[in-house]
Structure 1
Amino acid sequence: QEFFGLEATGQLDSNTLEVMNRPRCGFTDVLRYSHFEGGPKWDKTVITVTEYTPDLTQSEVDETLAKALKLYGDVTPLDFKQIDSGTADIMIKFTPGDHGDFAPFDGPQGVLAHAFSPGEGHGGDTHFDEDESWTLTAEGSNLFLVAAHEFGHALGLAHSQVQTALMFPTYQYVNTDGYTLPEDDVQGVQALYGEIHPHRKKQNTEIEMPLYCWKRSSSWDGIRMKKIQSVWAGITKVDAAYEYKRDNTLKLCTTGGRYWGFRGNAALPGYPKRLSDLGFPSSVTGVDAAVHVSSASRTLFFVGYRFWSFNERRGKMDRGYPKLIHRELRGIGYKVDAAFENRGFLYFSYGSSQTEYHYTRRRASRKLFNYRWMDC
C-alpha cells in the first residue's frame, strides 16, 4: 500500500485490490529507481529472439524491440546488436505458462512478462507471456511499452516507486509516439552505464533479421528460390544434402537409393552412386536428413528413428551404427527431417520445431521454430 501511494491500512480494501489486479511485471517492488543487489550490468549487449508471437509479424516484433532498446541506447554508451544463432546476452521469447525458468506465467491479464538481471545462464533473458494479446496500440498489451520495461530489468534496473517511471511495476498504456525514457529511468540506467560522451558517435541499434539462403558461406546472404533442376541438371527432388568443405563438394541424396556429388553446379565424375556405397544396408533407399560435422570430420545421416555416422577421412561408416536418435543425441527428439550447421552449432528440425545442438558437448542448447530462419 505504501509503495503505491495508498493509505497504509493493512487491510485488503477496494483500492488495494484494484492495484493488485492491474496487469504488471513479474518482479518485486522497491523505492524510486534502483538496481539489483550487487549492481550487475553488461560490458556488451548482444540479443537474439528465439520464439516470436503470432499476434504480430516478425518484422513488427523486430522493429518494436529495436525501438524499445533505443530508449536506453539514446542516453547511455550502450550499443545493441542482434545475432541470428548461438547464445546471446539477452535471449528473448514469447511463451505461455510454465516455460522452464521456475517463473511460470499465469494466463491473460496477470503477469505480462519478466526479465532477469544481467549475469550468467538466464541472466538478461526476457520472456513475454504468449497468452497475452500483443499489439502496437492501446488495445491489448502494447509490446513497445512492456518490452522497454523488461529491457530495463535485463540491463540491471529494478522497479521504481515513481508512478511516471517506465520501471513502475504496473502496466498502463501511454501514447508511444515520440516516447522518450522518463527522467527517473534515465538516472537509473546512467548510474550503471554512464552518460554518452559528447564527442562519441553513437552507433545504431542493429536489430535485423538475416536474409536467407540455402547455402551459407561466411554469412546468410540472401534467399534465392529456384527450381532444383535449374541448378543441378538431372536432379528434380532432393531428400537430404550436405556440404563437405574439405574438398568443396556438395552431396545430394535423392530418391531411389542414390546420391550425387557436385562442385558448384557441375556433377562430379562417377555419380550418381548407390547409398549402399556409403555403407548403408540395402534396405535403406532414402535419407531424411544429413549434416556434416566439420570439427569431427563426420557426416550424420538420419533415417527414421535412427542415424548413421560416416567417417569422411576413412570413407566408411563408423562401427556401432545405426543408433537411436533420441538416445544418442539427447534433447533433439525422435526424428529429424532437416539438419544443417551454422557457426559451430548443429540445427536439427522435425516438423515446425528445431533444436540447436552442440555436438562436441553432446548437449541441446535451445529450442527454436523453423520460421526463425525461413520467415514462413
Structure 2
Amino acid sequence: MPLTGLWIVLLLGCIALCRTAPTIAPTISPEEEDLAEGYLTQFYSDVGVKNSSTRTIKENTFSQDLQAMQAFFGLEVTGVLNNETAEVMKAPRCGVSDISRYGHFAGRPRWQKRLITYRITQYTPDLTRSQVDATIAQAFQLYSDVIPLDFKQVYSGTADIMILFKGGYHGDFYPFDGAGGVLAHANSPGRNQGGDTHFDDDETWTLTQRGVNLLLVAAHEFGHALGLDHSRDRRALMFPTYKYVNTNGYRLPDDDRRGVQALYGSRTPVPTTPEDPTEDPNPDPLPNPRDEQCSRELVFDAATSIWGDLFFFKNGYYWRKSTTFQGIRLIRVNTKWPRIQYVDAAFEVSYKDAVYLFEGSQYWGIKAYAKTIISGYPKSITSLGLPSSVSKVDAAVYVPSTRKTLIFVNNQYWSYDEGRNQMDLGYPRSISQDFPGIGSKVDAAFENMGYLYFSSGPRQIEYYLPYKRVMRVLLNYGWLNCY
C-alpha cells in the first residue's frame, strides 16, 4: 500500500508545459542543485514521457520533471532551476509524490465499513493529551460531517488507524528528517498498517499559527488515510505543502469534500435551493430535475462555463454555480433563452465572447455577457462541417490552449478550429484512442481552471490534456453543493 505524507500547502498549480534543455541558473549553489535532484527524484520522478531511448530519457528527465514541478506550484515553467523554484522546494510539505494518476490512490482504496477506530499510542510533549485527543477528533469530524463514516477513539488493542508522534526512525521504512521538511505521513486504507498515521515529533506542534498547526496537518493526513491523494487546487487541504490558515470554524474545502464524497458518498444531502423566481410555472414535458440535484446517479445533458459561472443542463433546465452568489440556482432554459427548449451540448469561446448551445440538429450562438442570441442563429450543425448523418451532438468543449473546439458524437469526436472557422482535416477520430482513460462516450464536457471535465453517465473524469492523463474520477453531483 502506498505511504502518503503530509506537507500541506495552499498554493495553486497552473498547468502549462514547455520543453527546454535541462539547465541551471548560475546563481544556484551546488547544495541547491543537490536539493533539486533529490526533490524531483522523490516527488516527480514518474512525470517524464518514456520512450525507447534510455539515454534520451536520462538526459531529459531533470528538465521535464522540473517543468512539472514548476507547473504544479504555479511558477514560470522553464525547466531551469532558479532561486524561486529552489525556495519552493525548501518549504515544509507532505512526503507523498505530487504526480499520480488520480486524486484518489491507484485502485481507489477505501474503508469498507462505517465505523473506523483510531488509537494514539505516543503523544507529543508540545501539547497536553487532552488537547491532542480533542484536535485529532476534530480533524476526523471534518470528514464525518460530510461522509457517512464515524470515527471512534480506542485506548487499547489494535485500531483501524494507529497514530503516533515520534522523530527520526519510528518503525517503518520512512524515517523523518528533523524539523521542517516532512511533517507527517499516512498510509492509504487497507489491512494491517492501512491508514496508520505518523507525526514527526521533531516539529513544534501547536493549535495556533506558530510552529506547525496540528489540526491542519492531521486533517490532511487523515485525507490520505481515507484514500485521498494530493490535489492541484491551491485552496485544498490536500495540496501537498503546508501553509497556515485560520482554523476558527474551519470546514473541509470544496475540492476535498468532493474528493472524499466520490469515495464514500454524502452523509446528508442538503435541500435543493428554490428555483429562480422568473421560472415559467407551466409544466415541462420532461421530469423536473430538482430532486436529482444531490443524487449520486445524476447525469448531465451538457455543461459549460459562461463568464466564470458554470452551467449544468438537464431536461430543459440548468443549474447555475456562480462565483458571485452562494447556492445553486435551478432555472428553465426557455426562461433565459425563449427560443431554446433544451440543451444537448454547450461550449464557450471566451475570446469571442460567445457561447454556443446545441438543440437537436441545430445550434445557437449567444453573446456571453449580454446572454442574447446572435443574429443569424440557429444554424444547422452541418454548417460546422459535421456530416448530414449526425442528427445530434452529445457534448462539446472549447480548449483555450489550442483554440480548438472538440465535438463528441457517439464514440467519435471532431476538432473545429475556431480561428479558421472550419473543421480540421482527419476527423472524426476515436475518443478512447485519443483520450486514454475517459471511456468511449461523453455526455457532457467543460473546461475549468486548465482542466477538461468529461462526464459519462454519473461519472466524471478530470483530465489534463497536455499529459493526456486522468487526474481524478469524480461524480457529477459534486459540483452542486451536495454536502
Question: Which residue of 223, 239, 246 maps to 1:203?
Answer: 246
Contact 1:332 1:348 in 2 (8 A): yes
Q: For residue 366 of structure 1, report the CA deviation from its aligned partner.
A: 2.4
Q: For residue 249 of structure 1, report the CA deviation from its aligned partner.
A: 0.7
The aligned counterpart of 1:259 is 363
Contact 1:41 1:119 in 2 (8 A): no
Unaligned regions of 5+ residues in structure 1, if any? 1-25, 29-35, 48-85, 89-115, 160-167, 172-184
Q: What SS does structure 1 have at the residue aligned with 2:328?
A: coil
The aligned counterpart of 1:270 is 376
Q: For residue 361 of structure 1, report the CA deviation from its aligned partner.
A: 2.3
Q: For residue 305 of structure 1, report the CA deviation from its aligned partner.
A: 0.7
Q: How does 1:345-364 map to 2 (within 5 A)?
A: 345-364=451-470
Counterpart check, 1:284 vs 2:249: no
Q: What SS does structure 2 have at the residue aligned with 1:225?
A: strand
Q: For residue 194 of structure 1, report the CA deviation from its aligned partner.
A: 5.0
Q: For residue 41 of structure 1, report the CA deviation from its aligned partner.
A: 5.2
User: How far apart are the structure 1 equivalents of 2:164 and 2:409?
Assistant: 43
In the superposition, relative to structure 1, how do residues 42 and 278 fare at CA in structure 2: closer, same or farther (>3 Å)?
Answer: same
Counterpart check, 1:192 vs 2:296: no
User: How far apart are the structure 2 equivalents of 1:158 and 1:265?
Assistant: 49
User: How far apart are the structure 2 equivalents of 1:307 and 1:268?
Assistant: 26
Q: What SS does structure 1 have at the residue aligned with 2:252?
A: coil
Counterpart check, 1:235 vs 2:340: yes
In the superposition, relative to structure 1, how do residues 288 and 42 fare at CA in structure 2: closer, same or farther (>3 Å)?
Answer: same
Q: For residue 87 of structure 1, report the CA deviation from its aligned partner.
A: 8.1
In the superposition, relative to structure 1, how do residues 227 and 156 fare at CA in structure 2: closer, same or farther (>3 Å)?
Answer: same
Q: For residue 265 of structure 1, report the CA deviation from its aligned partner.
A: 2.5
The aligned counterpart of 2:229 is none
Q: What SS does structure 2 have at the residue aligned with 1:371?
A: helix
The aligned counterpart of 1:18 is none
Contact 1:332 1:355 in 2 (8 A): yes
What do you get for the CA RMSD once the two structures are aligned? 4.5
Q: For residue 170 of structure 1, report the CA deviation from its aligned partner.
A: 9.8
Q: For residue 259 of structure 1, report the CA deviation from its aligned partner.
A: 0.6
In the superposition, relative to structure 1, how do residues 294 and 351 fare at CA in structure 2: closer, same or farther (>3 Å)?
Answer: same
Q: For residue 214 of structure 1, report the CA deviation from its aligned partner.
A: 6.3
Deviations 1:26-75 (A, max 9, x none): 799xxxxxxx9xxx75262579xxxxxxxxxxxxxxxxxxxxxxxxxxxx
TM-score (norm 2): 0.44
The aligned counterpart of 1:320 is 426
Deviations 1:84-107 (A, max 9, x none): xx989xxxxxxxxxxxxxxxxxxx
User: How far apart are the structure 2 equivalents of 1:41 and 1:148?
Assistant: 16
User: How far apart are the structure 2 equivalents of 1:265 and 1:296?
Assistant: 25
Q: What SS does structure 1 have at the residue aligned with 2:432?
A: helix
Q: How does 1:1-376 map to 2 (within 5 A)?
A: 42=7, 44=9, 117-121=95-99, 129-134=110-115, 142-143=150-151, 156-157=184-185, 188-189=199-200, 191-192=202-203, 195=206, 196=208, 203-204=246-247, 205-209=250-254, 215=305, 217-218=307-308, 220-221=322-323, 222-255=327-360, 257-263=361-367, 264-374=370-480
Q: For residue 250 of structure 1, report the CA deviation from its aligned partner.
A: 0.8
Unaligned regions of 5+ residues in structure 2, if any? 13-70, 74-93, 117-143, 154-158, 166-173, 175-181, 214-243, 256-272, 274-292, 294-302, 310-321
User: How far apart are the structure 1 equivalents of 2:430 and 2:401?
Assistant: 22
Contact 1:243 1:249 in 2 (8 A): yes
User: How far apart are the structure 2 equivalents of 1:318 and 1:296?
Assistant: 12
Q: For residue 218 of structure 1, report the CA deviation from its aligned partner.
A: 4.4
Q: What SS does structure 2 have at the residue aligned with 1:360?
A: helix
- Larger helix percent: 2
User: How far apart are the structure 1 equivalents of 2:164 and 2:444?
Assistant: 34
Q: For residue 198 of structure 1, report the CA deviation from its aligned partner.
A: 6.0
User: How far apart are the structure 2 equivalents of 1:144 and 1:217?
Assistant: 45
In the superposition, relative to structure 1, how do residues 170 and 235 fare at CA in structure 2: closer, same or farther (>3 Å)?
Answer: closer
Contact 2:437 2:470 in 1 (8 A): yes
Identity over aligned pairs, percent: 30
Contact 1:354 1:368 in 2 (8 A): yes
User: How far apart are the structure 2 equivalents of 1:45 and 1:151?
Assistant: 25
Contact 1:214 1:223 in 2 (8 A): no
How many residues matched?
251
Of residues 289-298 and 213-222 in structure 1, the stretch that sits farther from structure 2 once superposed is 213-222
Q: What SS does structure 1 have at the residue aligned with 2:406?
A: strand
Deviations 1:335-375 (A, max 9, x none): 00000101000000100111111112222222222122135
User: How far apart are the structure 2 equivalents of 1:151 and 1:357?
Assistant: 37
Q: What SS does structure 1 have at the residue aligned with 2:383?
A: helix
Q: For residue 143 of structure 1, report the CA deviation from its aligned partner.
A: 3.8
In the superposition, relative to structure 1, how do residues 134 and 339 fare at CA in structure 2: closer, same or farther (>3 Å)?
Answer: farther
Q: For residue 129 of structure 1, report the CA deviation from its aligned partner.
A: 2.6
In the superposition, relative to structure 1, how do residues 202 and 285 fare at CA in structure 2: closer, same or farther (>3 Å)?
Answer: closer
User: How far apart are the structure 1 equivalents of 2:245 and 2:305?
Assistant: 34
